[in-house]
Amino acid sequence: MKPVQILDSAQIDITLTRLCHELIENHGDFSSAAIVGLQPRGIYPAQRITERLKKMTGVDHIRHGALDITFHRDDFRRKAEPPVPGETRLDFEIEGLNVVLVDDVLFTGRTIRAGLDALLAFGRPERVELLAFIDRRFSRHLPVQPDYTGRAVDSISTERVAVDWVETEGADRVTLYSVAD
């Protein structure tokens, strides 16, 4: 199968704006909220969303962090190589906050499970929500569902969704491709 582009740069822009509106609807001025991107790839949409929220709400300080889940994964020693840890940066207390976890692609749900464990090591948030920029439906291994979805994608197990960002790949785009061939 040839790779299929699902979203281009302009569509990604619209989707991010729509997600921001949904977040503002629920969190107002973000005085008791925090946006936390999951390493390694959730930090890019989290960063974009935070910057956009600041512009849209006029609030200059929105809590924003990055969370690495490597040491909480359930596949340690099931892979040939130990997974590479990324940086965790949470320079605020999460106790009592409404935390929005952000990841680029929600697939089996295992990363989110590990992310919840990693997050709770920092305290007890009031509420945790999940924002998935891409939700690959029908592929869940665990009962995890997003509260905010950028785009739902129905795909079979041999397919993968690649989310590219200007920061890392030089362009914003979402592509569906097959790993079978």
Residue showing tokens 């007890």: 124
Q: Which is nearer to another protein, 88 or 178 (CB)?
A: 88
Instruction: Find the binding residues for another protein in span 113-142 (CB under 8 A).
Output: 117, 120-123
Residue 84 CB, shortest distance to another protein, in Å, is 4
Rounded least distance, CB 110 to another protein, Å: 14
Cα(24)–Cα(11) distance, integer angstroms:
20
In angstroms, the CA 39 to CA 167 distance is 14
Q: Of the ranges 19-27, 47-55, 64-72, 130-138, which one interacts with another protein (CB under 8 A)? A: 64-72
Looking at the Cβ atoms of 122 and 177, the one nearer to another protein is 122
Site string for another protein, 13-32 (x = CB under 8 A): --------------------
* Cα 37 from Cα 68, distance rounded (Å): 9
Q: Which is nearer to another protein, 71 or 138 (CB)?
A: 71
- Residue 73 CA, chain-centre distance (Å), reads 16
Q: What x-and-dash track marks residues 79-98 binding another protein by CB under 8 A?
A: --xxxxx-xx----------
In three-state secondary structure terms, 40 is coil
Sequence-distant (6+) residues with CB within 8 A of 130 are 100, 101, 103, 106, 112, 144, 145, 146, 147, 148
- Which chain residues interact with another protein by CB under 8 A? 68, 70-72, 76-78, 81-85, 87-88, 117, 120-123
